[in-house]
Amino acid sequence: MSTHTFNRAIVRTPSRSVVHGLRAVDTGSPQYEAVLREHAAYVAFLQSEGVSVETLPLLEDFPDSVFVEDVALVFTGAAIALRPGAPTRRGETSEIVPTLERHFERVLHLTKGSAEGGDVLTTANAVFIGLSARTSAKGAQSLLQLLGEIGHRGVVVQTPPSVLHLKSDCALLDEETILCTPRLAASEPFPGFRLLLTSAGEEGAANALAVGDQILLSQGYPRTAEALAKAGYEVKTLATAEIAKIDAGLSCMSLRWRS
């Protein structure tokens, strides 16, 4: 099955508390209405590509709960409820479990260590798990076992130091190709894949999202966009400047699978 084609997605409306979301570097808080606009445009794009999107209600107690990708891994027929490494995010998991149980025949639960979905890159033959400040070695080992139970092969790699998530620095473009920052590529984490590197100073472009035949990229990375276009990809850009103030990317705002 193709891993970059999906027809179902779950998103969560940003809460007003999103302005207090976690961030590695404080460049000012995002403006709520602008976050709503960016989120709505993201959802509209997925829908315009034929994706059926379920929007979950906002959770004021969890500022980062708009980043649904971090609390679960979803596959055709099965899901794994994760344990976020950020203490303020741990309660988000129990909020999404009933939704997972509605959509998936099997729902497994990570009970040891911590792991966030932003640290997990799913490809056809391997599920790469990046160790980071949010995903512990214990969580990764436990996740390997759970992935095995649902027929997936996990591979543990290292997220670059001080990078939030593995997928802050990479995205699957197609079955053979990964968009990757030079700092992640340096550790050769994806043997057998063709790597396209983000341009110098455009590391933020790496959290792209393949949607059908298009690559969704955040605005503001013109050289990477051009390189992708030259490599034959159809690139579509979206504004993410407000939500990026709390370290958002394009993958983290949805859970995606093929039903």
Active site residues: 165, 252
Residues in the chain: 259
Rg (C-alpha) for the chain, rounded Å, is: 17
114 DSSP 8-state letter: -
Site for ligand GLY (CB under 6 A): which residue of 14, 21, 30, 130? 21
**Integer CA distances (angstroms), 120 to 148, 204, 251, in order:** 15, 17, 11
Contact residue for ligand GLY among 127, 246, 250, 253 (CB under 6 A): 246
- Residue 78 or 164: the one with the smaller Cβ distance to ligand GLY is 164
* Site membership for ligand GLY, residue 247 (CB under 6 A): yes
Assign 172 to helix, strand or coil: strand
Residue 62 binds ligand GLY, judged by CB under 6 A:
no
- Beta strand 234-238 pairing with 52-56: unpaired
Which residue is at the shortest CB distance from ligand GLY? 22
Residue of the chain from 19, 58, 86, 97 that contacts ligand GLY (CB under 6 A): 86
Task: Map the footprint of ligand GLY across residues 66-85, applying CB under 6 A.
Answer: 67
Minimum CB distance to ligand GLY, residue 226 (Å)? 28
* Most distant CA pair in the chain, distance: 44
What are the phi and psi torsion angles at 6 (to 5°)? -140, 155
Window 190-229: contact mask with ligand GLY (x via CB under 6 A): ----------------------------------------
Residue 232: partners with Cβ closer than 8 Å, 6 or more residues away: none
104 is a site residue for ligand GLY (CB under 6 A)? no
Q: Is residue 134 a contact partner of residue 170, using CB atoms and an 8 Å limit?
A: no
Q: Does 14 participate in binding ligand GLY (rule CB under 6 A)?
A: no
Task: Give the residues lining the site for ligand GLY (CB under 6 A).
Answer: 21-23, 64, 67, 86, 246-247
